[in-house]
A and B are shown apart, each in its own frame.
Chain A
Amino acid sequence: MIGWLFRRSADAVATALVAVVVLVLLVHLLPGDPLAVLIGEREVDAAQRAALAASWGTDQPIWIAVGHYLLSLGHGDLGLAMSENRPVTTILLERLWPTLLLGGLTLVIDFTVGLALGLWSALHPESWRARLIGALTVVGYSLPSFVLGMVLVSVFAQRLPWLPPAGLADLTLPLDAPFAATLVDRLKHLVLPLASMVIATIAVPLRQQRSAVMGTVTQPWVLAARARGVSPAAIAWRHCWRPALTPVVTLLGLWLPMLVGGAVFIEMLFNWPGIGSLIAQATASRDIPLVLGAGVLLIVMVQVGSLVADILYRVVDPVQRDQ
């Protein structure tokens, strides 16, 4: 196990590195003068231009430029953001936790509620509730997450002023307000973006679980378990659900890149100050160092998530452990 873990982690690191290299190469390989692209429409004086050329290595062979970037990356230096003139790393760290919060909660809800509903639908395939869940998931999946978000905002924030339409928190709330009030406020701000993300993404684990359980229900070991007098509840849990878990866990690893995409649009819609909205805003202002930096971070997050998913997969499937 330890040997595998070591190799798998090394693989994750290597993949992340190569991905970063690819991204940096993309920027450098695009037609035109890379320096001009970096500067864009901004006003820069000669000193800044020179500093930029030096830090980006734009007048050097491409491999050196890439290497330079990677070396700085190793030091935690991702350069300066053009639009704000602050270190990219600082900005990234500021905006990391909102994304983790939103993404993390979405993941948790999708893989608990989604799995539970999927299990239930598989065990009662003919019921109207199961069919309804099936139809809703297709609609939810087809719905662009930000459209869903806009509808939710329109209904719950504008027509019915129950929830705030955007932002992390109410900025008019005094800093020394009681903890309960702050907590409630934060939670209220979390509801709509979270609901949008969950509704848009819950279809995937739900349908995967449903089809996996429908596959296990007909397996011979279920009949064998019935033959020894095991109760229906135990059969559903141990013999239908548990073996159906493995395809769902594989889903987790593949699915993280998709989750990142959804987050970008939702964060923009709700002015949620996370990495997703950061990369979108940076793209609009053509702040390449910032876009690259955010991209690197997202790649790393995906690799970490994929590693965790693979570990879970080995935990869940005993056959894998021996291979």
Chain B
Amino acid sequence: MTALLEVKDLTISFPQAQGEPVVAVDGVSFRVSAGEVLALVGESGCGKSLTGLALPGLLPAAARLGATSEIRFKGTDISRLSERELRNYRGRRIAMVFQDPLTSLNPVMRVGQQIIEAIQAHRQVGRAEARARAIELLSEVGIADPGERVDSYPHQLSGGMRQRVMIAIALAGEPDLLVADEPTTALDVTVQAQILELLDRLRAARGMAVLLITHDLGIVAGRADRVMVMYAGRMAETASTAALFAAPAHPYTRGLFASIPRLSGEGGRLPSIPGTVPRPDQWPTGCRFNPRCPVVIPICREQQPGLDAIASGHRVACWVAAKTAAKTAR
């Protein structure tokens, strides 16, 4: 069965005026099946947003894809398509929801108009029909009084409502894949839960796949089927959510879990991963995590580990984890 989305060896680099191009995303591969929720987790600067933008072909003009990079949507490589051809995919097959709903909505256009725009970009529908559909969508994302709200301007809505509008816009084209880039980061905690709940419902109702990009492991539990952890442009670990939460193998992932504040348990200093994320032009040799790693061994500083399976469906890019797995396998 072909996966809905298959990304192979995605490399995104930025040529510089002088010197080597800066590589922001380095050889990332993953796949998403229809109806599945894949979480892409990492700190800011790890390249997860760029990965998300690469899918509908919305990278900044200066970005270059690697020669062997492939983005296969239902079998077709869309990474080499022209702008015109890509427009058929954007909104219609692959939709995006962005982080800040205030600036991602045109301030001088009514929200209904922006939904209608999304509808009419892909289907020939009359204004009345499009408007009716927009009201339906607003209702579907849980906005009260959709008939009134459809004529509101973005500044007249609360943050949570604006994000719902963004989701409605994303759904307008009936996409197969929804890429949500930090959809809840700009919202209050209570609203975050509501939005995630909404995404869950919609996904189930429409059989839509979701690529959930976030830095917050907390929102991943119970919402994602599988998780990918990214660090410094590369994949560090990937597993089903259950497996990852039960037994995180990569030291970075472990560090992330350890630093989640918990209400239960004893008090004390909150653990944090020492050091900071390296910039793309300052990546260390060998495993990129090695300067901050608590279990670093000599080979980590020389060679980059490959993404190897340590259990079924659970792959890690770490020499130590691979060794440990090999030992337990014996």
Contacts and interface: CB of A to CB of B under 8 A. Distances in A.
A229 B108 contact: no
A141 to B, nearest CB: 29
A229 B92 contact: yes
A100 interface: no
Contact of B104 (A221, A234, A317): A221
Which of B90, B108, B114, B121: most chain A CB closer than 10 A?
A: B108
Among A221, A226, A238, max chain B CB count under 10 A is at: A221
Given A221-B104, A318-B108, A227 B121 contact: no
B96 A227 contact: yes
Contacts of A5: none
List 4 tightest A-B contacts by C-beta distance, closest first: A228-B91, A229-B91, A229-B90, A227-B96
Contact of B117 (A219, A238, A242, A246): A238
A243 B108 CA distance: 6
Contact of B155 (A226, A242, A318): A318
Given A229-B173, A239-B106, A318-B155, A224 B98 contact: yes
A228 B173 contact: yes
Q: Which of B89, B92, B107, B122 counts the most chain A CB atoms within 10 A?
A: B107
Contacts, number: 83
Interface stretch (B131-139, B164-172, B270-278): B164-172
A226 B173 CA distance: 13
Given A231-B121, A234-B117, A224 B155 contact: no
Given A229-B92, A238-B109, A224 B173 contact: no
B169 A228 contact: yes
A230 interface: yes
Contacts of A221: 103-107
Most buried by A among B56, B104, B105, B153: B104
A238 B91 contact: no
B170 to A, nearest CB: 7
B95 interface: yes
A319 B157 CA distance: 12
Q: Which of A225, A242, A245, A316 has the most CB of B within 10 A?
A: A225
Nearest to B172: A228
A134 B93 CA distance: 42
Chain B at the A interface: SS class: loop
Interface in B172-196: 172-173
14 contacts: A220-B98, A221-B103, A221-B105, A223-B104, A224-B104, A225-B114, A227-B98, A228-B90, A228-B172, A229-B90, A245-B108, A318-B155, A319-B153, A322-B155
Range class of the A interface residue count: 20 to 34
B88 A229 contact: yes
A248 to B, nearest CB: 13
A220 B155 CA distance: 15
A227 B106 contact: no
Interface residues of B, number: 32
Nearest to B87: A229
Interface in A198-257: 219-221, 223-231, 234, 238-239, 242-243, 245-246
Nearest to B96: A227
Contacts of B103: 219-221
A228 B121 contact: yes
Given A219-B103, A228-B90, A242-B109, 9 more contacts: A227-B56, A228-B91, A228-B117, A229-B88, A229-B89, A231-B87, A239-B106, A318-B153, A322-B155
A226 to B, nearest CB: 6
Given A228-B173, A230-B121, A319-B153, A242 B108 contact: yes
Interface string A70-97: 0000000000000000000000000000
B100 interface: yes
A230 B117 contact: yes
B285 interface: no
Contacts of B90: 226-229
